[in-house]
Structure 1
């Protein structure tokens, strides 16, 4: 059984979570062509390394961020989304 640590609810079975994909910068809607928007919405990057992803603890409906190594599938850390804004 794989365990994921929710920042609000603590360690839980991975089956209680849903992944929403990587955090990505939003293109400027006033300066972005339709082709660039479609690329942003429908094409996923397939790269190696560390990625920050959105996750949700389904029973509590709590959204948070997780850093995950795409090669080993190891979850490095989980944290509240407000911590990412504080770092920026």
Structure 2
């Protein structure tokens, strides 16, 4: 079970309090996009084993979307931050680098 903290209202709870919304920091395509862009957005997911950045919504609380950095193997949560943050906070990068030596950062769109 994941334990997440909402960066807006400060509630710390089990993942059942929240709702997952897919990968964070990707460009989302919709109306007006090409077929290839929309197809890649829907089906071409990275889905890494290990460190992953995701979108979550505090469904049973304040209702706001936020981002979480976690490890898909160990279920360790490195931290959460607001959805309006376009760059991953340095403190979260430091936590990930300390726990997963040699892990490389990929470029986010």
TM-score (norm 2): 0.61
Tell me how far apart the structure 2 counterparts of residues 25 and 4 of structure 1 sit (CA, whole Å).
24
Aligned to 1:76: 78
Please give the residue correspondences for 1:1-88 in structure 2 after superposition, counting only pairs within 5 Å: 2-10=2-10, 11-23=12-24, 24-26=26-28, 33-58=34-59, 59-85=61-87
* Equivalent residue pairs, number: 86
Check the 8 A contact 2:56/2:66 in 1, yes or no.
yes
Quickly say closer, same or farther: Cα 1:2–1:46, change in 2 above 3 A: closer
TM-score (norm 1): 0.72
Tell me how far apart the structure 2 counterparts of residues 86 and 72 of structure 1 sit (CA, whole Å).
20
Shift of 1:85: 5.0
RMSD: 2.9
Structure 1 window deviating more from structure 2 (18-27 vs 66-75): it is 18-27
Shift of 1:12: 1.9
Unaligned runs of 5+ in 1: none
Per residue, is there more strand in 1 or in 2? 1
Tell me how far apart the structure 2 counterparts of residues 62 and 36 of structure 1 sit (CA, whole Å).
27
